[in-house]
A and B are shown apart, each in its own frame.
Chain A
Amino acid sequence: MRSSVFLLCVVGLSLTQIQFSSADLVDQTCKQTPNYDLCVKTLRADPRSSKADVTGLALVMVDTIKAKATATLDRINGLLGTTPDPKTKAALSHFVELYDNAVLKADIPSAIEALKKGNPKFAEQGINDAANEADSCDRAFGGASPITSFNRNVSDLSRVASAIIRLLS
């Protein structure tokens, strides 16, 4: 009887410690990324982060990239519908293909699989590629386009994710 009470106390203490450590983990992890604020803001917005290990945090970040990339794709598709200039249309179509086929259908699923299966180096490749695609889209349209913030978001998030993934190897 006494030993089980004792056990309960010990278990209770450890649980508290784990939770405390996770909050620290977000902080510790984000300090090792190029954008601490974005990292912390993104991770804390997701309930999974409080109980996650570093792999879990990486997965939260990748899911966020997926959501932003989807939003970017939607925006580009919207622009395509209203843009008259053929050169711009061609470039936009190219980026639809990049975000759709490359980032959403290949890079992201590959990164998620690699993280879940314990082979983080392949996740790094996919996420770096997502950052490159977003950057190239950003460069093509310069600093003032309706998709600038979308592209930069994807790019910034990808760089944070990449840094987190690097911690896993």
Chain B
Amino acid sequence: MALIGKSGPSVSQKTDLTLNAPAESTNISAQFLEPVSRGPSAGVSEKSFRLHSGVRAPFPWSNTMLSWQRTGYHFQPEKNWMNDPNGPMFYGGWYHFFYQYNPDAAVWGNIVWGHAVSKDLIEWLHLPLAMVADHWYDTNGVWTGSATLLSDGQVIMLYTGATNESVQVQNLAYPADLSDPLLVDWVKYPGNPVLVPPPGIDDRDFRDPTTAWYGPDGKWRIAIGSKVNKTGISLVYDTEDFKKYELIEGVLHAVPGTGMWECVDLFPVSLKEDNGLDTSFNGPGVKHVLKASLDDDKNDYYAIGTYSLESGNWTPDNPNLDVGIGLRYDYGKFYASKTFYDQNKQRRILWGWIGETDGESADIKKGWASVQSIPRTVVFDKKTGTNILQWPVEEIKSLRKSCKKFDKLEVGPGSVVTLELEKATQMDITAEFEIDKEALKRIGESDMEYSCSTSGGSAQRGELGPFGLLLLADEGRCEQTPVYFYVAKGTDGQLKTFFCTDESRSSLANDVDKRIFGSTVPVIKGEKLSMRILVDHSIIESFAQGGRTCITSRVYPTKAIYGAAHLYLFNNATSANITASIQTWAMKSAYIRPYSSHAF
């Protein structure tokens, strides 16, 4: 599968390209020269037991390597396991964030709701646990849920509880004291559960209630994901008081073959304006995004369509790109995501759970697992009409310092340019690329459809790619994580642009995931190829064409850490010259600490 890259011509003042084949697999099979010991077969105990010669011992993660992995500015609790984002909202002058949390270990279990607040979605104060598993209806899990803010100031929190018999039910909770802007204490409605699985729905396929939207006849509506056989569906309920519900006949939508729909989300986007819309908004000039987290493949899928309050159905604009079979929010590690309407700044904001892709034993050793993505604004992509755009919230810029600009760097085929030799572990990078026009005209037709995940990554050379940035690369580039564009002519004669992240050489360790992933990204005529990358230790979030295609990656280098992590620009195309303009900022760490009354 992997093609061996040929080394290109060396360019003066630039480092020789050493982007050859991906590192040998470290899954060395036992084919070495140790004689089989004769002890056991002769019926006596093992006399000459030793480590197999020539075989690399299991990767010895040092504390230095592990502690480097912790992020500088992404949300994560001080320790232990986290998963789904829950009930995000803006209330009382604070952004509230809740999350699935294990207070006892760095693996999933004993799940409760963690809670933190922020003024700017970047600096966070950890608060006491909001909800724990203390009733029969949530004793086996206080699982995912969403917040609805009512116009009279009430805050409704609906969440899934796993009962003492492991039945999935929906429960209602609300703040104990609405005058406390921090909403520290929560009360569970004595009449819980407010919803149990309806007939025809399995006890274990009924979870993750959404934020409510205002329905017809003065009622509220919520959606809950489920499945029937292998068809993923979303049920809809009407309610007036969030205590009594009526199942609406039919479903919001269903897509065969997609399996269980977790963390369903339905929200409006404006076709004309750049601001977000309240969840209840509907009317002309509005489309609705329907999203589901597919249990079967652990990815988040979305589709753009039309929601009708009268019929209660949502219909996709393009059935070929329906929920679960079309576009993804993110082509890397990104799951259980949830949006909320930020009425403070009129934005729709997306949170995504970014799990670990290293071994659980490393997580246990380092004492924590999982981070959240940097919150992203979500808007309709007016230029394509078929995508949404995700972009890190503006407030992240407050962490930027020491900017460096590289204007119109010319990078010939097969070369690497050093950009940053210091502090390349916490960065915000924007880059624009142009391919020389002659190369674009010259390109022949490819008879093979390229795909990031089946390619040889950044080592597979084409006429017009790959080119991009090498992140978290050590000086010898034994470890590197390329994020790049690859332009090719498809079998239909049209130019296609791919945006990929290549983890195959991100680490010398043999016990971490090392995948190559990405997707095509639509490029409108006249647009330059652009990417933005947030590097923050073991997480890399990449955005192409203003957020049309996003890739989040977790990497665990062993050498390219601390001061040894550098940033390079590369062009591994065989034919094209690339002109790149790049801006880099070092990023300060964000203040993410437990709340104390002395904090301010």
Chain A contact residues, CB within 8 Å of chain B? 79, 83, 85, 87-88, 90-91, 94-95, 97-98, 101-102, 105-107, 109-110, 113-114, 116-119, 121-122, 125-126, 129, 132-133, 136-137, 139-146, 169
B224 at the interface (CB under 8 A from A): no
Most buried by A among B106, B108, B259: B108
Contact bitstring B34-56, A, C-beta under 8 A = 1, else 0: 10110010000010011110011
Residues of B contacting A136 in the complex (Cβ-Cβ under 8 angstroms): 58, 510-511
B126 CB, nearest partner CB in chain A, Å: 23
Docked Cα-Cα span, A136 to B30, in Å, equals 12
Contact pick for A125, options B27, B37, B360, CB 8 Å: B360
A72 CB, nearest partner CB in chain B, Å: 15
Contact pick for A142, options B52, B162, B361, CB 8 Å: B52
Q: Are A118 and B162 in contact (CB under 8 A)?
A: yes
Given known pairs A110-B105, A137-B58, A139-B28, the reply for A85 and B110 (CB within 8 Å) is: no
B448 at the interface (CB under 8 A from A): no
Contact bitstring B390-429, A, C-beta under 8 A = 1, else 0: 0000000000000000000000000000000000000000
Docked Cα-Cα span, A139 to B30, in Å, equals 7
A157 CB, nearest partner CB in chain B, Å: 17
Q: Are B364 and A101 in contact (CB under 8 A)?
A: yes
- Return the chain B residue nearest A166 by Cβ: B296
Residues of B contacting A106 in the complex (Cβ-Cβ under 8 angstroms): 105-107, 360, 364
B57 at the interface (CB under 8 A from A): yes
B600 at the interface (CB under 8 A from A): no
B60 at the interface (CB under 8 A from A): yes
B326 at the interface (CB under 8 A from A): no
Contact pick for B359, options A132, A137, A142, CB 8 Å: A132
Docked Cα-Cα span, A133 to B359, in Å, equals 9
- Give the 9 A-B residue pairs with the shortest CB-CB distance, closest first: A102-B361, A142-B52, A142-B30, A122-B108, A117-B140, A129-B360, A118-B166, A110-B107, A143-B30
Residues of B contacting A101 in the complex (Cβ-Cβ under 8 angstroms): 361, 364-365
- Return the chain A residue nearest B298 by Cβ: A121
Docked Cα-Cα span, A87 to B40, in Å, equals 22
Docked Cα-Cα span, A119 to B142, in Å, equals 12
| 22 A–B contacts from the bound complex (CB under 8 Å) | A87-B51, A91-B58, A95-B58, A102-B359, A110-B105, A117-B162, A118-B141, A118-B168, A118-B203, A119-B162, A121-B295, A122-B109, A136-B510, A136-B511, A139-B28, A140-B56, A142-B34, A144-B37, A146-B46, A146-B49, A169-B295, A169-B296
Residues of A contacting B168 in the complex (Cβ-Cβ under 8 angstroms): 118
B551 at the interface (CB under 8 A from A): no
B300 CB, nearest partner CB in chain A, Å: 14
- Return the chain B residue nearest A90 by Cβ: B57
B204 at the interface (CB under 8 A from A): yes
B80 CB, nearest partner CB in chain A, Å: 11
- Return the chain A residue nearest B203 by Cβ: A118
B452 at the interface (CB under 8 A from A): no
Q: Are B57 and A94 in contact (CB under 8 A)?
A: yes
Residues of B contacting A144 in the complex (Cβ-Cβ under 8 angstroms): 34, 36-37
Residues of A contacting B49 in the complex (Cβ-Cβ under 8 angstroms): 79, 83, 88, 145-146
Main secondary structure of the interface of B (DSSP, over half): loop
A98 CB, nearest partner CB in chain B, Å: 5
Interface of chain B residues 183 through 231 with chain A (CB within 8 A): 203-204
Docked Cα-Cα span, A146 to B48, in Å, equals 10
Q: Are A118 and B107 in contact (CB under 8 A)?
A: no
Q: Are A146 and B109 in contact (CB under 8 A)?
A: no
Docked Cα-Cα span, A135 to B309, in Å, equals 54
B132 CB, nearest partner CB in chain A, Å: 14
Docked Cα-Cα span, A95 to B511, in Å, equals 14
Docked Cα-Cα span, A107 to B107, in Å, equals 7
Main secondary structure of the interface of A (DSSP, over half): helix
Docked Cα-Cα span, A129 to B358, in Å, equals 10
Q: Are A169 and B260 in contact (CB under 8 A)?
A: yes
Q: Are A142 and B109 in contact (CB under 8 A)?
A: no
- Return the chain A residue nearest B83 by Cβ: A122
Residues of B contacting A98 in the complex (Cβ-Cβ under 8 angstroms): 58, 361
Residues of B contacting A83 in the complex (Cβ-Cβ under 8 angstroms): 49-50
Given known pairs A83-B49, A88-B50, the reply for A110 and B108 (CB within 8 Å) is: yes
Interface of chain B residues 460 through 515 with chain A (CB within 8 A): 510-511
Docked Cα-Cα span, A144 to B49, in Å, equals 9
Residues of B contacting A102 in the complex (Cβ-Cβ under 8 angstroms): 359-361, 364
Residues of A contacting B359 in the complex (Cβ-Cβ under 8 angstroms): 102, 129, 132-133
- Return the chain B residue nearest A147 by Cβ: B49
Interface of chain B residues 13 through 43 with chain A (CB within 8 A): 27-30, 32, 34, 36-37, 40
Docked Cα-Cα span, A129 to B359, in Å, equals 7
Residues of B contacting A91 in the complex (Cβ-Cβ under 8 angstroms): 51, 57-58
Given known pairs A94-B58, A140-B58, the reply for A129 and B361 (CB within 8 Å) is: yes
Docked Cα-Cα span, A139 to B54, in Å, equals 11
Docked Cα-Cα span, A85 to B57, in Å, equals 14
Given known pairs A83-B49, A90-B57, A143-B30, the reply for A114 and B109 (CB within 8 Å) is: yes
- Return the chain A residue nearest B39 by Cβ: A146
Q: Are B361 and A133 in contact (CB under 8 A)?
A: yes
Docked Cα-Cα span, A145 to B203, in Å, equals 47
Beyond known contacts A109-B109, A139-B27, A146-B40: 4 more, CB 8 A cutoff: A105-B364, A113-B109, A118-B140, A169-B295
Residues of A contacting B57 in the complex (Cβ-Cβ under 8 angstroms): 87, 90-91, 94, 140
Residues of A contacting B108 in the complex (Cβ-Cβ under 8 angstroms): 110, 113-114, 119, 122, 125-126
Q: Are B51 and A141 in contact (CB under 8 A)?
A: yes
Residues of A contacting B107 in the complex (Cβ-Cβ under 8 angstroms): 106-107, 110, 125-126
Residues of B contacting A141 in the complex (Cβ-Cβ under 8 angstroms): 51-52
- Return the chain A residue nearest B47 by Cβ: A82
Q: Are B140 and A142 in contact (CB under 8 A)?
A: no
Residues of A contacting B34 in the complex (Cβ-Cβ under 8 angstroms): 142, 144
B164 CB, nearest partner CB in chain A, Å: 10
Docked Cα-Cα span, A87 to B57, in Å, equals 9
A71 CB, nearest partner CB in chain B, Å: 16
Docked Cα-Cα span, A12 to B360, in Å, equals 48
Contact bitstring B154-172, A, C-beta under 8 A = 1, else 0: 0000000010001110000
Given known pairs A110-B105, A126-B107, A142-B34, the reply for A116 and B166 (CB within 8 Å) is: yes
Docked Cα-Cα span, A143 to B33, in Å, equals 12
Docked Cα-Cα span, A146 to B45, in Å, equals 9
A76 CB, nearest partner CB in chain B, Å: 11
